[in-house]
Amino acid sequence: VLSVDTIRILSDRHAKPSYLFFQYGTAGFRTLGVVLDSVMFRVGILAALRSKKLDGKTVGVMVTASHNPEPDNGVKLVDPRGEMLESAWEVHATNVANAQTSDALIEVLQNLVKTLRIDLTKPANVIFARDTRPSGPALIESLQDGLQSVGCVGRNAGVISTPILHYLVRTINAKGTKEDYGVDSVDGYMEKLSSAFLKLVKGKQVSPPLLVDCANGVGAHSLEEITKYLKGSLQLIGVNTATGSTGVLNNACGADYVKTTQRLPPSLAPYLKPGERACSFDGDADRLMYYYLDERGQFHMLDGDKIAALVAAFIVELVKGSGLEGQVRVGIVQTAYANGASTKYLSDRLPVKCVPTGVKHLHHAAESYDIGVYFEANGHGTVLFSRDTTEKLANHQPITPAQSTSLNHLMNLMQVINQTVGDALSDLLLVEVILAHKSYSGIEWDSLYVDLPNRLVKVVVADRFMFKTEDAERRLISPPGLQQKIDELVRRYEAGRAFVRPSGTEDVVRVYAEASVRSQADGEYMLLSPKPF
Ligand code: NG1
Ligand code: ZN
């Protein structure tokens, strides 16, 4: 049974503010760091219970608010294969977080143990980490109290990026199995990525020194580490690496700034020369945005859609080159935010699926392909190789030296890619490998297709839960009549497309519009006259 007295004593120290409601959304719990104490304590308990339910497999807990402002924080659970928490448990998490008193909490927990038939005698293994936010250390202590209240010690992985935590969870659980995923340490991660990278770029001309905007977040640590392993083959120059300063995280820098403003972070302006490319991580280093200045100094963005196009084309080429055409199907997953031009470009070549926003939806859909490439336009994405494909590649007998080379490249790509979740560092290495192989600069990469001009804005509404969608969030079914109005507006514009959906991470509604001409995409924006970013 649960040691009710211990839970009560510790829970009283982490009382829930009665006036708040917490929701486990697409990115776990996310709100102001100062109100998350009770949530952290309870997530500690829940993580331990989830591990027990899964027969003692290791479960991850990541404390981060990603690209959101510095005062925000959040927490999400990571399942044993390094994936997002199973949906059914999101509801349990919300229930646990909202029990008003310690007694109410104990009751919810006892119910959970009973209905889910959790065997409390099983071990609980939890690994946890945080990003660089100032509110992090105190929140980690609350989390540890939660773990302790159910007799779980947990492993503190310290301050690391979200994708490294996902990697650690997967490696720990895969250890000693057929699906071994590497060594469960930061060094193991760096070693795995970098050694595959070095094999892939051997004898190739790699990028000149590359500026990497770390958003003043934990990605700066990853960058510093990987540099030691790259042995000068790729020079990465960190900008916005001030993880010790307050007030600078994600501030006028980082992947989200680039995507939403479609501008160069001002802090990079003194360094980036016309003709050169650079990239930005977000605050927890799971998103990556590339961009370059053309010869006239004009800014061009290479977002998640462009990364997906580059990566998918290269993988298709390698699959063909290995002699596996027809045996290994490559497919793409996007969301409604994918630029219409990217969807057209990709669906002319490959199967493309559109799913609702949220990594878990993309990840899940990508699992249905032999090799599934998924990217959100905002730069979050990865590539999944199915179990069958992994075996097929390992057992395939190439019949020519060229086939053997392609197959080797594919096997090494699998090692560079963090298949658990989007990973800015791993995606950066992947992109640089492909650019080196294709001898592409930013300009050639960009010319795969031309983005349709677009606008994404947030609008504050009285009740965003009134907005209900269908068709992978591309159409509204509520409030009544609104979709018709959007349809009427969209019809007036060439290649027009627009949709409205409630955010899962902020108390706003997002409005997206695109059209063949910039002024027309903006036209939608003016008509709706919402608050700009
Ligand atoms: P919401 O707030 O539901 O739009 C945002 C991003 C998602 C995803 C999540 C999780 C956009 C338009 N939305 O979701 O893609 O990254 O945050 O962080 O970028
Ligand atoms: Zn992030």
Closest ligand 1 atom to 358 CA = 8
Q: Does residue 380's CB lie within 6 angstroms of at least one atom of ligand 1?
A: yes
For residue range 79-99, list pLDDT tens digits in order: 999 999 999 999 999 999 999
Q: Which residues fall within 8 angstroms of residue 129, CB to CB, at 6 or more apart? A: 60, 61, 62, 63, 156, 157, 158, 159, 160, 164, 165, 168
Q: DSSP 3-state assignment of 237?
A: strand
- Chain centroid to Cα 37, Å, comes to 24
Identify which of 72, 459, 505 to mutate to test ligand 1's pocket (most ligand atoms within 8 A of the CB). 505
Residue 530 to residues 263, 448, 457, 488, 526, Cα–Cα distance (Å): 20, 33, 7, 19, 8
Q: Which of 64, 303, 357, 474 to mutate to test the pocket of ligand 1 (most atoms within 8 A of CB)?
A: 357
- Residue 509: beta bridge partners? 459, 502
Are 45 and 5 in contact, with CB atoms under 8 Å apart?
no
Helix, strand, coil percentages in the chain from 3-state DSSP, rounded to 5: 40, 20, 40
CA–centroid distance, residue 65 to ligand 2 (Å): 7
CA distance linking residue 53 with residue 113, whole number of Å: 9
Q: Which of 189, 76, 255, 234 is nearest to 419 (CA)?
A: 189
What single-letter DSSP state applies at residue 320? H
Beta-strand relationship, 299-302 and 330-334: unpaired
For the chain, how many residues are written? 533
**Neighbouring C-alpha atoms within 13 Å toward the C-beta of 96:** 26
3-state secondary structure of 286: coil
**Ligand 2 centroid – CA 26 distance (Å):** 12
Determine whether 203 is exposed, middle or buried from the number of CB atoms within 10 Å of its CB (0-12, 13-18, 19+).
exposed
Residue 530 pLDDT > 50, yes or no? no
Report which ligand 1 atom has the smallest distance to the Cα of 512. 12
Q: Which amino acid is at 503?
A: S
What share of the chain in percent tops pLDDT 90?
Answer: 95
Portions of the chain given CATH number 3.30.310.50:
454-528
Question: Of 11, 51, 66, 406, which one is the catalytic site residue?
Answer: 66
How would you classify the pairing of strands 352-354 and 330-334? parallel
Query: Taking 90 as the threshold, does the pLDDT of residue 381 lie above it?
Result: yes
Instruction: Classify domain 304-446 by CATH architecture.
Output: 3-Layer(aba) Sandwich (3.40)
Cα-Cα-Cα-Cα dihedral of 64, 361, 155, 247, to 10°?
-10
Q: Find out whether the peptide bond into 80 is cis, omega within 30 degrees of 0.
A: no
Write out the residue limits of the CATH 3.40.120.10 domain(s) in the chain. 4-159, 187-301, 304-446
User: For tokens 């007030």, what's the residue?
Assistant: 247
Which residue shows structure tokens 């996902």? 166
Tokens of 345: 């470009």
pLDDT digits (tens, 9 = 90+) for 3-14: 999 999 999 999
CATH fold label, 454-528: TATA-Binding Protein (3.30.310)
How many Å lie between the centroid of ligand 1 and the Cα of residue 508? Answer: 11
Ligand 1 within 6 A of CB of 66: yes
503 Cβ closer than 6 Å to some ligand 1 atom: yes
- Are residues 61 and 127 in contact, defined by beta-carbon separation less than 8 angstroms? yes
* Averaged pLDDT of the chain: 96
Residue 45 reports pLDDT greater than 50: yes
CA–CA distance, 440 with 448 (Å, rounded to integer) = 11
Asked if residue 275 lies in contact with residue 292, where contact means CB atoms within 8 angstroms, the answer is: yes
Q: Is the pLDDT of residue 185 over 50?
A: yes
Residue keyed to tokens 């982490």:
14
> How confident is the model over 320-363, as pLDDT tens digits?
999 999 999 999 999 999 999 999 999 999 999 999 999 999 99
Q: Which residue's alpha carbon is at the smallest distance from atom 12 of ligand 1?
A: 337
Measured from the CB, is residue 259 less than 6 Å from ligand 1?
A: no
Q: What percent of the chain has pLDDT over 70?
A: 98
Determine if ligand 1 sits within 6 Å of the CB of residue 378: yes
Ligand nearest to the backbone CA of 457: 1
- pLDDT at residue 527 above 80? no
66 a catalytic residue: yes
Alpha-carbon distance of 333 to 345, in angstroms, equals 13
Opening angle at CA 333, ends 328 and 338, nearest 5:
140
C-alpha distance from residue 331 to each of 304, 307, 336, 374, 450 (Å): 15, 14, 17, 9, 21
- Residue with the smallest CA separation from ligand 1 atom 16 is 358
State yes or no: pLDDT of 397 exceeds 90. Answer: yes
d(CA 281, CA 428): 9
How far apart are the CA of 519 and the centre of ligand 1, in A? Answer: 25
Distance between Cα 82 and ligand 2 center (Å): 15
Mean pLDDT across 474-495: 95
Widest distance between CA atoms in the chain? 69
Let me know: does 413 contact 200? Beta carbons within 8 Å.
Answer: yes
Fold (topology level) of 4-159: Alpha-D-Glucose-1,6-Bisphosphate; Chain A, domain 3 (3.40.120)
d(C-alpha 285, C-alpha 429), whole Å: 13
Task: Dump pLDDT digits (tens) for 144-182.
Answer: 999 999 999 999 999 999 999 999 999 999 999 999 999
Check if the beta carbon of residue 264 is closer than 8 Å to that of residue 293. Answer: yes
What Å distances lie between residue 496 and 412, 486, 489, 493, 525, CA to CA? Answer: 41, 10, 9, 5, 12
How would residue 533 be classed by pLDDT, with cut points 50, 70 and 90? very low
Q: How far is the C-alpha of 434 from the C-alpha of 423, rounded, in Å?
A: 16
pLDDT reported for residue 504? 87
**What is the CA(307)–ligand 1 centre distance, in A?**
18
* Amino acid 526: pLDDT: 52
Residues 187-301: name the CATH superfamily: Alpha-D-Glucose-1,6-Bisphosphate, subunit A, domain 3 (3.40.120.10)
How much is the CA Rg of the chain, to the nearest whole Å? 23
Q: Whose CA is nearest to atom 19 of ligand 1?
A: 378
361 lines ligand 1 (CB under 6 A): no
408, with CB counted inside 10 A (0-12, 13-18, 19+), is middle
Q: Is pLDDT at 531 greater than 60 in this prediction?
A: no
C-alpha closest to that of 24 among 69, 61, 71, 70: 61
